Structures are given as C-alpha cells and as structure tokens.
Amino acid sequence: MGTDPAVDRLIHTVLQPGFAGRNEPPRWLADAIGRGLGGVVYFSHNIGDVDTTATLSGQLHELGDVLIATDEEGGIVSRLGARDGSPHVGAAMLGRVDDVAATRAVGAAIGADLRASGIDIDLAPVVDVNSNPGNPVIGVRSFGATPQLVTRHAIAYAEGLQATGVAATAKHFPGHGDTAVDSHVGLPQVDAPLEVLRERELAPFAAVVRAGVRAVMTAHVILPALDPSRPATISAPVLSMLRNELGFDGVIMTDALDMGAIRDTIGLGEGCVQALLAGADLLGLGNPVLGATTSDKDLQVFTEARTVLARAVDEGRLPVERLEQAAGRIDALRRWRRTRAAAPPVVDRSADLSVAGRSLATRGQLELPSNPLRVLDIRRQRNVAAGALPALTVQAVLDARPGSSITSAFVLPEAVEGHADDAELAPRSDLPVADVVVTGSPRHDAAEDEQLRVALAANPDALVLVLGYATGTEELAGARRVIWTFGDSVPTAAAVTTLLHR
C-alpha cells in the first residue's frame, strides 16, 4: 500500500537534501522537486563560477518552488569562496572592529553575492557566544565572547542579508559556543544552569528573533538544564523554548542530520522523525559527497529519510498534523522569497577591506627580509564546517617575496568541508628554520603548540602569523613579532600585505 499522495508531498516539503553535481540536477532531485521538495543545500562541490551556479539555481527553481540554501558566513566558512577564498571578512573580525554599520554592509554584500548565484537562504549568521576559548568548531565564526557583542552584530548581519531578499538563518540554537566537542564528530554538552543559558546563549537568539530573522538552525548539543538526554535538534523542551519563550514562528531547520551527534547515535532516518516531533520544520540531510563509496549516495540518503518518515506516519508515530504545520511554515518562507525585488539593491562593498585592516593586531617590528622567505605552516587542525582552512593570507606573504618557499609542519591529508578526521596528521621532525611561522588558534592543540615552540627556538625573530581564534594579544609571550588576523579571507590577505609594505 503506497503513501497517500498528500502525505507524500508533505514529507517532501520538510526535506532539505544535498546532492552531487554542479551543472544540472540529478534525475532523482528533479523528481523530488516536482513532488514538493522544500529545499536543497549547496556545498562547495555544487558551486562553480557565478554564471554556472546561477544556471543550476535557475534549473532548480524552474522545476518547482524549492528553497536553495548554502553556508556563506564570510571568512573561513564560504561555499561561494571555497576555491578562491571569501571576498568577505568573518564574524570575529566584525566583532573585533565592533562597527555595526560595517557589519550590516558586509551582510548586504554577502546577500547580493548569493542573489547573483540564485541562492535563497544563507545559513548564517552564527549567533553562538564563543564563551569557551577552547571551542574546536566555532572560534572565529563567532562575533565574540559576550552576548551583547554577538547580539548587535547578529542583528546587523541578518538585517543586511534580508534587505537583499536573502533569508538569514540564526545558528546554532540554543548555542554551540560553550562546548569543547565538535558535533560533526561527537555529542557536545553545555552544562551551564538555566539562568546562565538565558543571559548568555539565549539572549542573542531572542534579540535576532525580535529583529525578524526568517529561520533558525538547531544545534546537536545537549543542555542538561533543559533536557538531560536529547540534543537540541530532537528535544521538544528546547525547541518549545524557541517557539514559546522566544516567540519564533518562522522555519526551524536542523543542522545536518548526517553529523556524528545524530548519525552515530539514533541514525539519520530516526533523527528526521524525532526532529519533526520535537518541533523542527525543515530537515537538513547534510553533505552526501563525504565518505561516499557509491555515486548515488545522495539518492540513498534522501531515500532513507523519506522512507523512514513515511513509515513513521503509517505507524502513527508521526502525526500528519505535525507535517502540515511544518510545511505551512516552509510555504510562508517560500512566499517571502517570491515577494523580494527582481534585483538586489546596490550595496557598499568597501566595508570588508576596511574591517580587515582595522581588525589586525600586531606586536614588534613587522619588516620582512628582502630575500625570499622561508614560511612554515604549523596549522594542524582543519575546521570541520569549512574543510581545509584557506591559505589566502599565507599566499599573500609568499607573493610578497618571489622565490619564497613554504613547508607544512604536518603531513596533511586531503580535506573537504564536514570532515574532521586528523588521525593521519603526522608532525614532521625535520622543521626548517623559518622567517614566518603560520599558526591557527594558539593553545587549541598541543602538537601544534609544540611545533611553534620548536620553530621559535630555531628563530626567535620569526614573524608569527596567527590566523585563528585568539582570546587576546597577550598570548604567545615567547614570540617577539606577531600579526593576529582573527580569521582569513581575501580582504585579510590584502590588509596583511598592506601592513607588511607600508
């Protein structure tokens, strides 16, 4: 006995798969859109140049009323800039400069770029308060370490985006900042009491909801003060707080349900069912290219989600009324998209470079030798949301002195977004003496810190370039010459080049 056509359409409406391909949608995806598919997510493997991506988006939109989303935070998490780097600064730089008008302008510029590629939803801004400096996945993706700072910039960013007709998504509710585990590969927990959660984690989300953000993304994080056993994505008490206490009536979408916190516990299909029962509306199925052993993994993942949902309806575990409620909110977001102007407004693109320059911090003399440079990159970690960390600023330093060379302090495997396995990252024991040492986030990784110590022992005057999260410029007491950038982007590379040649 087949699924009722109306129920089948509702099930399709609440799904948001990824897919393989860049030039045209696969056949299964075209069929799913025709049956009411709610959304798709672009990852870097879907992104070509602007014309190629816009053509793909046009094909998808012609097939049906599907919402196209992607992660375009600026800085190190940039799907549009996955190959050449983001032309936009990241959240930590914006928070450090603390110029709300500049943040709004950057949000609008990102929105214009997304519109040009035919994308409807930005999975940004990050509204997490980075209160744990050891956080392995948020770091420079956050505007800062206080709820007040995060609040004013999250609002400005969302306002800038939505002014261009691109929906903003506040993430990762109810807060991924005070964690030491990455939910891509494990199940993090925030042990703060409820009063602290309300003042720190929840306050920025409450403010951005009041400001009119169109979507909120859940976190695969356990908060014992609200629910001791279930991560927020599948927790009715947590998502009820978003609805009832914060008053949000837009689309609640899940973070990728193929992440370890869900996939390795209850499984993707059951995660879909439980997320809907908890109150989520749009189910992100994740990146189907990661770990793929067959060419049709995207179809397999989608089929698993759709089949398990249909079974749950047949068994009476998933009420049709819950599907109807979720689909109603998705339809409201579709209507909002259709009301946007034919073209985005003209935006100010000067803010990114200004912010990049103002966000830099330095110590000591920054003059570099006139001869070719010996650069040592001791970054071991790869940010899971971003994949392989960009090397834009590193390349700018190399280009400043023709003939310069670069050596990695670790043997690095290939990395793509969503993959964090660093078991194969072996430290080199034959480090060259370096003029410039590139590091990520100090005190996040003992092996990286040890390679930095060895490098500075060999050349105490080496210029240390810090591209990751830093709690302050008092760090790296053993380094005489330092540049802190608080992230990486095309404007960051330009700002550092200007600094080194002034």
Give me the sign of the Cα torsion angle 93, 99, 103, 109: negative
Say what the alpha-carbon torsion angle 126, 439, 464, 406 is, to the nearest 10 degrees: -120
User: DSSP class of residue 366?
Assistant: -
Identify the H or E element spanning 70: strand 67-70
Q: Which of 172, 184, 419, 444 is catalytic?
A: 184
User: DSSP class of residue 14?
Assistant: T
Chain-centroid distance of CA 258 in Å reads 15
Backbone phi, psi, residue 217, to 5°: -105, 140
Task: Give the largest CA-CA distance in the chain.
Answer: 76
Backbone phi, psi, residue 377, to 5°: -100, 110
Distance CA 217, CA 207 (A): 15
Contact 366, 483 (CB under 8 A): yes
Residues with Cβ within 8 Å of residue 112, at least 6 apart in sequence: 164, 344, 345, 347
Residues with Cβ within 8 Å of residue 1, at least 6 apart in sequence: none
Distance CA 286, CA 239 (A): 20
Backbone phi, psi, residue 39, to 5°: -160, 170
Residue 444 annotated among the catalytic residues of the structure: no
Residue 348 annotated among the catalytic residues of the structure: no
Contact 122, 69 (CB under 8 A): yes
Q: Which of 99, 255, 298, 445 is catalytic?
A: 255
- Supply the residues annotated as catalytic: 184, 255
